[in-house]
Amino acid sequence: MKKGITEISLLQIEREKITKQIKEVKEERKYLETIRNELISKQYHACDSWKEKYFETKEVTASLEEVLTKHREDLELYYKKVLLQLEAREVNMKPKNTANTTDSKNSLIIQITEVQHEIDQLKKKLVIEKMKHIIEAKMRRQAISDVGILKAELTE
């Protein structure tokens, strides 16, 4: 009979050990779940703050783009006005110098002004395309990061 009692007491001791281990594992799991939830909330907070900053910047950029458009229009008007003045000056000088009309300073100034204007337009287009490229790259990196995070969450 002593063998049966000792076996039962050993089984109870083993059972208590296993129960204790299960409780410890449950507590550890709860702790890890709270850490996971905190990390997820931080991640969402970081994503939300990034989106918030993006939209704030977008709003500011929109108003700046309006100002830039107005300045560009003013510059275009100024450019056309200067070009008209130069052309008028050249027309006034024609009767005096009929032989040198093609080599006149005014025609060179007009050509230089036109080429400079074209260069400025190309520079503006280049800056705009660079900005678009940078924005696309940042958005792509953010999307790749988000996809990686979502994959990691799904594997968990």
Alpha-carbon distance values, 66 to 51, 61, 122, 123 (Å): 23, 9, 20, 19
Domain positions in the chain are 2-155
Contact 106, 86 (CB under 8 A): yes
What distance in Å separates the CA atoms of residue 53 and residue 101, rounded to the nearest whole number?
A: 58
Q: How many helices (H) and strands (E) does the chain have?
A: 2, 0
pLDDT, tens only, 43-67: 888 888 888 888 888 888 888 888 8
pLDDT, tens only, 96-147: 555 555 557 777 877 888 888 889 889 888 988 998 899 889 888 988 988 8
Provide the whole-model pTM: 0.41
pLDDT, tens only, 39-49: 888 888 888 88
Q: How large is the average pLDDT for residues 75-100?
A: 74
